[in-house]
Structure 1
Amino acid sequence: MKKINIVFGSVYGSAQYVAETLDTALNDAGCQVQLWQPEHLSDFVPPEDELLLVVTSTTGDGDLPDNIAPWFIMMKDRAPYLPELHYAVIGLGDSSYDTFCGGGKQIDALLSELGAKRVGERLDIDACETMEPETEALQWLKKWLPLADSVSQQIG
């Protein structure tokens, strides 16, 4: 399988913990993984020959957390064309707000606008339904890994 880059944006630490949990699970599955700390994302444009997994919470009125917002803005401003990039998004939010998982939806929309292709469905985790978002993310990962492996084989 291709290398998987994990990027996260977190306010209170839940999205970071989910990203770290997925990093461990993917390493245990024998995948090559790079977990990017938000402060190292300033010039990071995801390589198209690798997979991208973004985990982000939502804050304010559907906004991205402050630690991932600069990366999002840089990607939007540079607008690199990424037609060979394959990605997945996990959004964390609270369904009692109209802007439920708005951060994940923004990332998903931007990557799609840049020509990237999503692998599988976006996972939106509702804080009203689960106190352990990492458990839900690990269940999703079981379905996503075979899809990601298939994509990796198709793209060489």
Structure 2
Amino acid sequence: MSKTLSIIVGSVLGASEYVAEALEQVAIQAGYQTQVHFSPEFNHIDKSGRWLICTSTHGAGELPENIQPFANEIAKNDLSGINAYIVGLGDSSYDTFCFGAKNMEKRLKDAGATIIAEPLHIDVLNHPIPEDVAVSWFEEQLNS
């Protein structure tokens, strides 16, 4: 049985996309078949494998526009068979730091999904190249 990972990206300026692509390489090296969803549509995402949500926060703590329809579909479905990782990018100078990722975590849990590991919230002020910290974290998760 093959291991699959759906990488679901919420991005405004592209940083989450770079992180998602770096994490995809980690997953491939760990033997996963991957699919990255830059414009995620709920009905096109594999419900039998693991999910990795990689999202930034936009405006006053909202999810990026490209992932909002996907996030809204979560509440309409039973995700009790889904195991997910969450990576959030944010700027700690805002009081809405990583609200996008926190929002996705709540929605997934409320729909019955299991969050596999403590979500990673990357502060871009302290990590100007967020891929580096994300890759280290994800390698640790996949090897534990």
* TM-score, normalized by the shorter chain, greater than 0.5: yes
Offset of residue 111 of structure 1:
0.3
Offset of residue 42 of structure 1:
5.1
Q: TM-score, normalised by structure 2?
A: 0.92
Q: TM-score, normalised by structure 1?
A: 0.86
Percent identity for Structure 1 against Structure 2: 36
Cα distance between partner residues in 2 of 1:94 and 1:122: 16
Partner of 1:112: 109
Instruction: Answer yes or no: is the 8 Å Cα contact 2:57–2:98 preserved in 1.
Output: yes
Cα distance between partner residues in 2 of 1:108 and 1:61: 18
Alignment root-mean-square deviation, CA = 1.5
Structure having the larger proportion of residues in strand: 2
Please list every run of at least 4 consecutive aligned residues from structure 1 whose deviation after the TM superposition is greater than 3 angstroms: none
Partner of 1:67: 66
Offset of residue 37 of structure 1:
2.5
Residue 108 of structure 2 aligns to a residue whose secondary structure is helix
Offset of residue 41 of structure 1:
1.3
Offset of residue 82 of structure 1:
1.5
Aligned AA for 2:15?
S
Aligned AA for 1:8?
V
Aligned AA for 1:41?
E
- Structure-to-structure mapping, 1:1-156, within 5 angstroms: 2-38=3-39, 40-41=40-41, 43-44=43-44, 46-47=46-47, 49-76=48-75, 78=76, 80-147=77-144
**Which runs of 5 or more structure 2 residues have no equivalent in the other structure?**
none
Cα distance between partner residues in 1 of 2:137 and 2:85: 11
Offset of residue 85 of structure 1:
1.0
Cα distance between partner residues in 1 of 2:112 and 2:121: 22
Post-superposition CA distance 1:35-79 (Å, at most 9, x none): 1121x51534551x3100000000111100111111112223x2x
Aligned residues: 143
Post-superposition CA distance 1:104-149 (Å, at most 9, x none): 00000000000111111100000110110000100101221034xx
Instruction: Answer yes or no: is the 8 Å Cα contact 1:5–1:36 preserved in 2.
Output: yes
